[in-house]
Structure 1
Amino acid sequence: MTPEIKARERIDQKLQQAGWIIQDMAALNLGAGVGVIVREYPTDTGPADYVMFVNRQAVGVIEAKRDSAAENITAVEQQTERYASATLKWRTEQTPLRFLFEATGQIIRFTDNADPAPRSREIFHFFPPQTLAEWLAQPNTLRRRLAEAMPALPERNLRDCQISAVTGLEQSLALNKPRALIHMATGAGKTFTAITSVYRLLKFGGAKRILFLVDTRNLGKQAHQEFMAYTPPDDGRKFTELYNVQRLASPHIDPHAQVCISTIQRMYSILSGEQIDDSAEDISLNEIEQTTKQAKHVRYNPAVAVDTFDLIIIDECHRSIYNLWKQVLDYFDAFLIGLTATPDNRTFGFFNENIVAEYTYEQSVADGVNVGYDVFEIETTITQQGSELKAKEWVDHRDRATRKKRWAETEADTIYTGKELDRSVVNPSQIRQVIQAMKNAVETQIFPARKETPKTLIFAKTDSHADDIINMVREVYGQGNAFCKKVTYRAEEDADSILSSFRNDYYPRIAVTVDMIATGTDVKPLEVLLFMRDVRSKGYYEQMKGRGVRSLDGESLKRVSNSAEGAKTRFVLIDAVGVEKSLKTESRPLEKKPGVALKDLLQGVALGHRDDDTVLSLANRLVRLAKQLDDKAQARIEKASGGIPIAELGKSLIVALNPDAIVQTALNTAHAQGITRSEETLLPEEIEAARATRVAAACAPFDKPELREVIDTARRERDQLIDHINLDQVTFAGFSQQAETQAHSVIQTFTEYLKQHKDEIAALSFFYQQPYQRRQLTYDMIEELHEHLAKPPLMLTTERLWSAYARVQAAQVKGADRKRQLTDLVSLVRFALGLEGAQGELKPFADEVDKRFQAWIFRHNAQRGSAFTPEQTDWLRLMKDHIASSCSISRDDFDYAELADKGGLQKAWGVFGQELDGLMDELNVELVA
């Protein structure tokens, strides 16, 4: 057979598969079926290869070519147009035929002449005749409706980034662009945005059916729930009351469904006829290694026409769509719309670089949609270096699948690296040290004010590793089963139920997962992510980090974390395997200088330090602070800035460093100077000048010293300094060098103030006088001193002073982890003035009072010759406790608190008689001096 005949045979076969009846002119019978195709139909310009009839009416033409002509198939379009416009013998209408096809045995291209600016596109297979009949019955084509019939978008209840995404997509569709990419940061509401678009495309665009592709079955459930919850702005009914939504769980697509939700695995199974195990949809395709060996190829399935879907929305268009699974996308004649928070070069290339909306993680933090994050590192010797098991050592051997153990000798020396941990070798000590280090860090440094463990997610390497982690977490925290749960597809309990509890209930506090919560799954109260596994894929790592970025209001956070104060302002990524360093991630922490005080960042910017790290760090602090401050504090800052809210001050710094905006500024400047420039011809100095201009404008408000002071004052009332530490069996937990320098400065300022103001403040006069006069110290005097120290510009609160001494003289400072009392200022002053001696300790005032009380009562009992009675001793302890919190005691104090509850002054007089006043004087001197 000639190449032309071979091609014709394949074309005929495909047409017949699509339901067409093929006839020669000699056997013409247009009544044989809905769709009839006549070969070599005569026209006034010669016979057409194929003329298509639907319900006896000529509607289209096919120009057939041999396979070797495929690379020049578009050159045949003019020939197809000629036949479509020719006069067909025996046809009465003179209008051109609408549907134009060019085909070889391998390739089919199609043009609908009813489209605006008709443009050919490649299709996987011929359309059934019923499809062409439906299109003919419609007044306009889908593409014309998308170009002409979409009304303005109601913006109520939509974020700016969502408005930009919906309008950008509709503009792209109106221009008949086959692929579009929406890049939106995790947490910005991609699914809600997509549903908004789906609703408009169904209602106004007249789309027949839309496919919503998801990564896993769990994400399909989540998407289905969001469709059911969505209420459109122009209709009070739910989406699912207006349109049929099918979540595919079988090989059959409901012909009445207008939205189908499916994993790409499920759709591949439907098209290929290859059975799929339900568990195959439970694992993210990011977790599956792609192989060069292709599985069964997708072939035409008559039960699923190529026009089944008008649009395909690909949620989290990860790497899977570029390889084997791409066949699913190639099969359908549909617009492809990608949604992702983590695009890479392949993503941009696949979607023809048609980015219709871009909303980065940094922008989302600036807008308050998401929260920033800090990175806290845990290192252990074995994690870093591995270890060695010698031969003939008796150790447990465990079956990976059954976890059954046997006690046996090792056969040979086994050297293992950190990467082999929890796969070939499990080291319980390594897991224990990491969990213990995390517990210590969260409780003492990251969230020290919390009474309960913040919601924490741990990423494990395998299910077996997850089990080991869970057992260790329960042991280290001393908690029961409810405290820590596994959330993976192989968990014994229902994964969805555990996930719901983790999201909404008090327990579990800690969840361990391998992949189920890695992408897309919302758990807004999450505040700690612990990585105990490394990740190769940049995009997947970004997705995993994205589990913690969701913002949450204070009331909702408090519902699951009772001691949380205010809204969620950040999350902390605890890196126990070097995952942060092993990857060049797309989004980096905005916090570039965690050891630099906010005051120093503000001062640095005012003095002209405008490098990216400084500007971004200041932006991060301001955006975070905006979520923490009350209305009064925000109003003070807005007034000092000249009307700019603190959140906008931070956002403007981020926007100033936007690379695209910098380039545009440089182009505008060149144009204003009469210089012709393009992005490619801009000089480095022109770009740098544009950057400097933008950053200078954003930094200008910080030139005002009053603004810097009011921001720093507000921060000192709310913020905490987080220091990154390296842990190896917790051998070191310390602050950065910058923080130590700052602590020295605080101590120096404090001691100088004490010397300079000793004659002005009653409390200081007390400390500089002779010992016998110290009985004059009162609570009011200490309160007056604290007010002088705590107000600007010193801002030397008791907490800050104690923390500074703890950093600089840790060995001499006790009780640094306890809540400070105002009377601790007594201990601070004594320590600063050297009254405790060269080797003295800085201890909480109450501890010193306890110590002195024990010595006094022992001495007093010896001098009396008889001990105080038990009742007298109880009263003396109550008096001691009052002195610990108030510096002194007098008759008037028996009207307050526990002293009054025990009977007050009358009862105390009954217990001690005339000795009472003398004992009080004695205690005031002995316990405070």
Structure 2
Amino acid sequence: HRGYLLDKDIDEEGLNFKNQLDYVSKYRMVLDYFDAYAIALTATPALHTTDIFGKPIYTYSYREAVIDGYLIDHDPPLIIRTTLNEEGIAWQAGERPKVFDAESNTVIELDELEDELQIDIAGFNRQVLTENFNRTVVKQLVQVLDPDGDEKTLIFAATDEHADRIVQYLKEEFRAEGILVADDAIQKITGKSYNPQEQLTRFKNEKYPTIAVTVDLLTTGIDVPAICNIVFMRRVKSRILYEQMLGRATRRCDTIKKEVFRIYDAVRLYEALEEYTSMKPVVANPNLNFSKLVEELPLIESNERASQQIEQLVAKLQRKKHRMRTEHLQDFQLYSGGETVESLLASLLERPVADSIQRITALPRLWAFLDTLKISTDRVYVSEHEDTLIAMEPGYGLASRPEDYLNNFTTFLKENQNRITALNLVVTRPAELTRLALKDLLMTLAQAGYEARNVKTALKAVRNEDIGADIISIIRTLAIGSTLESHEVRIKRAVNKVRALTNWNKVQQKWIDRFEKQLLAECVLQLEDLNQSPFSDAGGVEVLNKVFDDKLPLIIQAINQQLYQA
């Protein structure tokens, strides 16, 4: 899970002057305390996991669970494109931007800018308040969400205040559309909510709320099967956290006949995601304060390592400088003996290492002041820039258009037809395709970026109609040009031809009907499948073969042959 940190790496020279306990993960310390075998089960494998427990001995992925029918798949994310999330928010040199100061609860106009100020989508609703962007997105959401339906919606906001505004805008825009919304149909559920646990229980078990807006409270650890819509109005850089958020909507919900869930992306999330990496930083330091860095300086033996320590202290001061206000800068000069932040930084970098150490260690009150200085970050820009909707369209990864996505998929099929065994079976001998081979193929396609549902969605967009074809038919059409027809039509035609072969008795007809039903659900039916659920309860192959007068293998073979004949 995400609730623990890695051990910190300490360089060899640091062993001489650093406290090694500062570098040991508290999570690791707890595990090491008990003399017992440690067994880990995680839904979010990461470097944290393998660093402590070693490589996994077994994995079962989300994609496998979808293919096996335990979890629900999603359509390609619907990207909400607006002028502001494409171009960002900018103030030109000479303009006077406004900021909201949470401490005084007022909007303040700043001095004229010397340079252009640009804030991209990652800073929306954190660094800058932008009502026009939020309203533009909400107006689009109002067109696709039903606040009184059975489906639940989960919206991820950037901050608690942002969540409040989204709730307000949703209620206002639904009313503007003439849609009556119960007051408790749309709610904020965050750690700052009154009794959030009770709200969570209601979100899961009761009709209202149908739309919940959260920040981090609902990213993990809740199970609300009726969630059918996930909306991102905040950036997420971690792919693990992103997948945890999506996990809120993957549960099956047969009571509302949930077949798929939808993702609405208003913050161009795909381009922000960081791929998982097993690379560690060369030196991962714990969060040392100024006084600790200064305390360690005289203990360092080499000039090179001491120079690195000074650079770390300077970088820390540089970061703090940008958030210091006039009164803080005045106090800084008081504790530094009259030096400004800029002059002290310059002198520390220009002096010889020994002189810098002497100067730094002579200012203990300054470093103590900086450690205790808590600078409010509640001042954010207020944008009045206009925003307009450009489009809401499916995202296909690197391919921006469905046509490009299908062309790339066709190229992939033709290049790999003779390399991937299951793909070769689909193209050349589809009647021999097994459930296991199909599962392997679907996993391979997903790893290459071609999930079956995404392919179907792209095909529907290109042809402007929903043919209802399964992935087997789509592959054969794109690879060898076979006629594309719906999954249901193809299967019913094949089974009807088998029904017409002879005069079946009523029991045999019943089982042929069940074969058809299974094919409609699974795409594939081979003899060995009859020893699995739902046929195993009736005795499997041994019993069914007697029902069909020892001709069961021929009947299954005939059905499979007819499936791929026009």
TM-score, structure 1 as length reference: 0.30
Q: Per chain length, whose mean CA-contact separation is higher, i.e. which structure has more relative contact order (CA < 8 Å, sep 6+)?
A: 2
- Give the number of the structure whose alpha-carbon radius of gyration is greater: 1
